[in-house]
Amino acid sequence: MAEQLPLSGVRVADFTWVWAGPFCTLQLAHLGAEVIRIESESRLCITRRIPPAADGEAGPNRCGYFNQYNQGKSSICLNLKKPEGLEIAKKLVATSDIVAENFAAGVMDKMGLGYETLKAIKSDIIMIALSGYGATGPESPYVSYGPAQVPMSGLASLTGFPDFPPTNVGFSYGDPNGGLHGAFAVLAALMHRARTGEGQYIDLSQWETSVAVLGEGTMAQEMNGSPPQRIGNRDLYMAPHGLFRCQGDDRWVSIVVADDNEWHKLCAAMGKPELANDARFATLAGRKQHEDALEAAVTAWTETLTDEAVTTRLQAAGVAAFPALTNKELAEDQHMRGRGFFAELPHPEVGVRQHAGVPWVFSDTPCTVRRSAPCLGQDTEDILQRVLGYSADEVAVLKDNEVLS
């Protein structure tokens, strides 16, 4: 075996698709697990079908969404509607440590791959199901898409400008949040198995993981019978606290002043000592009371400068500020590049593209992206022969019988 990674030797039979599930297993791949995605030509993952495609040219192996979130994994194609396909899936489970899936509740059971069945095949298997509603409860059969978790969890009702309706956050936050919590749960189950020898079933509800990151919201309701109000980018305990217009087209900088001392630093950095002496702004209570005027005063300064110039000047003064970065600026960011964050491995169809990589630097067992995302079914023959012990002839017969499609 090559270099030892935290999850070296751990195998994941990955039945997930779309985003929450694949994001869960991506974390396990980052940590060194062998993650095998079970795919099907007749039921292509939606992330192989939607933009962005490399240079705008569509194709199942050319989509950025899939290629971003399936780095480090392998892919086999199995027709699970054929008994031989189902049997191969079960053989794979028998050699695996973890099974991951994110179908609606009950779908794996119907396919003949429910936990009780798999546990009979591999007694210490750890199985995680990441569904929208969880495996139990009256609404568990309901249909759930990732974007719905932002409104369902209440995050949308807490997000937005005053006098505006509840507002979504611009991306399907419930998916990666569920996936990360799922990866955490799987690791905890691996620790439990290491200590006791026992596997288990983990029922993860994306609705619930989405509420888990809104503790202040439900606690406010529970304590006082009313939720926090929508206050845009403002904060109850800090001011100024917002995004301020800068030079250029739709350019903005975020600025946060945590206390009176930082307010004086901001005034000095803006070259506006008169603001520091303005009694309206001397205390947090005053700055909150006159926040419109406060923000207008800060904007009068920021809109004469670039977001970079504001950031450089305020950071030098010890005030938190940062531009609202676009994806282009992220891709061109020299700080993250210097840290080795981006993963740029060659891919047979899209060449070298700059993917987001692993957001953690391990000092002893460096976790990096070790291969680009797989083409559809790229590893079918290898997994069948190397892992499951089929001969080349047997694989050819399975192919002819449309089991591997």
Partner 1 sequence: MSEHNSPTPNSQPPGPLQGIRVIECGHMVGAAYAGKLMADLGAEVIKVEEPGGDSARQRGPYPGNTPHPEKSGLFLYLNTNKRGITLNLETSKGQELLQRLVQDADALVHNYHPTQMSALGLEYEALARHNPRLVMTSISPFGQTGPRREYTAHDLTMWSAGGLVFLGGAGGRPDLPPLKAFGQQAGFQAGVNAGLASLGALYGRLSSGKGQHIDISVQECLVAIMENNYIAWPYDHTTPSRLGFRLIPQDVLQCRDGYIYVLAVEDHQWKNAVELMGSPEWANTELFQDFVSRSVNWDALKALLEDWLQDKSVQEVYHGAQKRRVPFAPVSTMGDLLKSEHLNARGFFAEIAHPEGGSLRYPGAPYKFSASPWALRSPAPCLGQHNEEIYGGQLGLSPEELKSLKETNVI
Considering only residues 221 to 240 of the shown chain, the ones binding partner 1 according to CB under 8 A are 221-228, 230, 232-233, 235-238
Nearer to partner 1, 85 or 178 (CB): 178
Nearer to partner 1, 110 or 327 (CB): 327
224: three-class secondary structure by DSSP:
helix
The Cβ of residue 25 has, within 10 Å, a number of other Cβ atoms equal to 31
Minimum CB separation of residue 72 from partner 1 in Å reads 13
Residue with tokens 């926090």: 228
Near partner 1 by CB under 8 A: residue from 17, 19, 281, 301:
19
Minimum CB separation of residue 398 from partner 1 in Å reads 31
Q: Does 96 help bind partner 1 (rule: CB under 8 A)?
A: no
Helix (H) or strand (E) holding 129: strand 126-131
Strand 126-131 with 346-347, pairing: unpaired
The CA distance from 28 to 337, in Å, is: 23
| Amino acid letter, 300 | A
Nearer to partner 1, 77 or 255 (CB): 255
Near partner 1 by CB under 8 A: residue from 82, 90, 117, 140:
140
- Active site includes 333? no
DSSP state string for 147-175: GGHHHHTTHHHH-S-TTS-----SS-THH
Number of residues in contact with partner 1, rule: CB under 8 A? 160
45-72: buried (b, 16+ CB within 10 Å) or exposed (e) per residue? bebbeeeebbeeeeebbbbbbbbbbbbb
Show contacts with partner 1 in window 336-365 (CB under 8 A): 336, 338-339, 341, 350, 353-357, 359-365
Minimum CB separation of residue 41 from partner 1 in Å reads 19
Q: Does 133 help bind partner 1 (rule: CB under 8 A)?
A: yes
Show contacts with partner 1 in window 271-310 (CB under 8 A): none
Annotated catalytic residue, options 14, 55, 97, 175: 175
Q: Supply the residues annotated as catalytic.
A: 175
